[in-house]
Amino acid sequence: MHIQQTTIALFAILPLIATSQTHSKEPILHYPETRRVDQTDNYHGTNVPDPYRWLEDDVRNSTEVAEWTKAQNQVTRSYLDRIPQRKKIYDRLTELWNYERYSVPSQKAGRYFYRKNNGLQNQAVLYVADDYTASGRVLLDPNTWSEDGTISLGSTWVSEDARYLAYSRRESGSDWSTIHVVEVDSQKKLTDKLLWTRWGNLVWNADGTGFYYTRYPKPEEGQQFQSLTTNPMCYFHRLGTPQAEDQLVYRRPDQPEWSFWIQRTDDNQYLTMSIRRGTDHQNQVFVRPVDAPLDAEWTPLIDDFENEFSFFGNEGSQLFFMTDFQASTKRIVTLDANKPGRKHLAEIIPASDATLEDVTLLGGKLIVSYLQDVVSKVRVFGLDGKFQREVELPGVGSAHGFGGRQEDTETFYAFTSYATPTSIYRYDVTTGESTQIRAPQVDFKPDDYEVRQAFYHSKDGTRVPIIVAHRRGLKMDGHRPTLLYGYGGFSISLSPYFSVEYATWMEMGGVVAVPNLRGGGEYGEAWHKAGKILNKQNVFDDFIAAAEWLIAEGYTSSDGLAIRGGSNGGLLVGAVMTQRPELFGACLPAVGVMDMLRFHQFTAGHFWKAEYGSADDPEQFKALLAYSPYHNIRPGTHYPATMITTADTDDRVVPMHSFKFGAALQHAQAGPAPILLRIESRAGHGAGTPITKRIDEAADRWAFLWKNLKMSEDQ
């Protein structure tokens, strides 16, 4: 078992591009006029203006917002389409992306399920095979669900006997999904259709007649992409019955912001339920027998939110957990289902210097994945905690997978690095042998590139790792175009992985640099806590220090340095470019959280209060206001060239964040650098985005940097 882890008014649109009458031949950008309103909010005695409040309206409900986004896109397209190198970049991205890609297969009842993309298919196709070496047959092809590829296949769940497969279907990148069921052999789609689900917790019962799942109340008409997603409910659905007849298993209307995750032990003895507040991993744990009535009470094993307890398997009543209790880098323990509380905890594998990332119980062994200075290490232990062997990985990079049922003696994993395309391996749990079963054929030569890990010191002296990749032998003359990417939040670790976008950038003569900022999970929960809530400025300081290190090391200069990040990483880019605008040559904030005072009032934003804090708290408000990108834009400032990207169906980080930030930047900009908004249609936060849209956006991104970092063909 594997651990689961945004009043109609008229406004003028000026000519998109006018020819300059000055000595410069560079066209002058004219942005759409953006209405400013007299909106001021009082937070704990502090008045905070919000002149672009009207941009919070959904484009589907507001003609004014829809026209504004259309006008912004026209400016952006006119700018990008005038860059001569864009077509060449687009063509090369398309060539590189055109290779077969496979997911890590999973096995149930002798059937193997995996996803494959032939190269330029908008969506990966789900296959089923009787052998892990076989090609198998198509089970679900989401490319047939829409002409533009914007309906995607989300999570899949196979019944114990592999007779049925439940799957979630998502439209236009939304987090909302609909669950359907298909019979594996006949490919017959059942009548079952479950609405208003998100984020995919589904657990089949042992006989395959139904499953537990989580859904949310139906939102008000027209508000599904804006309103808060609260009050989740766990239900049991019996196959062949309408959703209205599903039986409620658990809900907490007194705690509308809590979320639930159910798991069933492989021996069909227990159901466990993890309850979390927000995005923090720290959780409560409840348990009950599988054969208890659906409305039966749950027994609390852990009844507070002080620590993470991630369930991954059992031996009888002994339940195995990965925990940060008295172990910042995490350890493995057991709890007895009949003896609640930490006092009955027994340690199996103690914490170490390496950060414990994941655990699977397979074939009577524990397959334990660690991060050691951001590099994967996988070790095998007995159930008694005794070390048995190291999994010999094919290189220095990232390994993930190792899923399966407790009785399985085989498992599968993927390996990748910045210069190594992802390959798939089978691991024999009994013999310890790894066998490569899928090797990609990419028009990319790993030996032509070099990857270096180094360490630098942040503002307060903290030692931070950074990985730098580029073409082998590239001369570092202090002027190399360099892309600095970061995230730094939610205990998410950035480990090395192959990217067609990075490969293209490096072919263009660019340097890729990825630091592992505080707020991530690379060094355990202490590293995470050092970059959250009142400590969030540490993340920005770490990123700024990385930029200064790249310049000091002779890789680049401020004029040649671009920064990029998405979601929480978009917040990172927005924060540092408003704090140190002179340090960067170009900025690429994507789907970022930019209004730190109002983020928790939309869709999933309330979950992030555990990470960022809330403006409702006086002390946290001061910290949020100090770095909130939208609120720290200063008129008369020379900001770097900036392209802000978002999507109209992003219902995780609603696009109002990017809209308000972009409008404020355009209003404040005193320098000549462009401030563009690129707003994708029929797309969301990123997951499920069709390949055609991904290639278009990547081509726009690299063309924007080519122009604004003044790159040339001979770099």
Report the range of poorest mean pLDDT among 539-548, 568-577, 705-714. 705-714
pLDDT digits (tens, 9 = 90+) for 208-240: 999 999 999 999 998 999 999 999 999 999 999
- Please say whether the beta carbons of 461 and 489 come within 8 A: no
pLDDT digits (tens, 9 = 90+) for 224-281: 999 999 999 999 999 999 999 999 999 999 999 999 999 999 999 999 999 999 999 9
Query: How many Å apart are CA 395 and CA 371, to the nearest integer?
Result: 14
- Please say whether the beta carbons of 320 and 330 come within 8 A: no
Residue 409 confidence (pLDDT): 97
Token pair of 314 as six digits: 């059992």
Query: How many Å apart are CA 147 and CA 154, to the nearest integer?
Result: 18
Q: Name the band, by pLDDT with cuts 50, 70 and 90, for residue 516.
A: very high
Q: Known catalytic residue: 631?
A: no
| Beta-sheet pairing, 318-323 with 331-336 | antiparallel
Q: Under 8 Å CB-to-CB from 383, ≥6 apart: which residues?
A: 315, 348, 361, 364, 365, 366
Catalytic residue among 376, 567, 614, 628: 567
Q: Name the band, by pLDDT with cuts 50, 70 and 90, for residue 427.
A: very high
**Burial of 44 by CB count in 10 Å (0-12 exposed, 13-18 middle, 19+ buried)?**
exposed
**pLDDT(7) > 60:** no
Q: Which of 263, 266, 288 is nearest to 340 (CA)?
A: 288
Residue 4 confidence (pLDDT): 39
Three-state secondary structure string covering 104-125 = CCEEECCEEEEEEECCCCCCCE
Cα three-residue angle 522-527-530, rounded to 5 degrees = 150
Q: If you average pLDDT over residues 536-565, what whole number do you get?
A: 98
Q: Which of 252, 228, 217 is nearest to 600 (CA)?
A: 228
pLDDT digits (tens, 9 = 90+) for 167-203: 999 999 999 999 999 999 999 999 999 999 998 799 9
Q: How far apart are the first and last CA of the chain?
A: 49
Q: Which of 630, 617, 620 is nearest to 660 (CA)?
A: 630
Sheet arrangement for strand 283-289: 258-264, 270-277, 283-289, 299-302
| Beta-sheet pairing, 299-302 with 283-289 | antiparallel
How high is the mean pLDDT of the chain?
A: 95
Q: Name the band, by pLDDT with cuts 50, 70 and 90, for residue 71.
A: very high
Assessment of whether the complete model's pTM goes beyond 0.85: yes
- Please say whether the beta carbons of 167 and 156 come within 8 A: yes
210-224: string of b/e by CB count within 10 Å (b at 16+)?
A: bbbbbbbeebeeeeb
pLDDT digits (tens, 9 = 90+) for 28-45: 799 999 999 999 999 999
Catalytic residue among 237, 400, 600, 685: 685
CA distances from residue 504 to 261, 280, 446, 642 in whole angstroms, order as listed: 39, 35, 13, 21
Token pair of 283 as six digits: 């959780």
**DSSP string of 179-193, one letter each residue:** EEEEETTT-PEEEEE
Residue 714 confidence (pLDDT): 75
**pLDDT(624) > 80:** yes
**pLDDT(19) > 50:** no
User: Tell me, what DSSP letter sits at residue 339?
Assistant: S
- Element holding 699 (H helix, E strand): helix 691-708
pLDDT digits (tens, 9 = 90+) for 473-501: 999 999 999 999 999 999 999 999 999 99
Residue 8 confidence (pLDDT): 23
Residue with tokens 């409900």: 61
Q: Known catalytic residue: 685?
A: yes
User: Tell me, what DSSP letter sits at residue 582?
Assistant: G
**pLDDT(15) > 50:** no
Max Cα distance, the chain (Å): 81
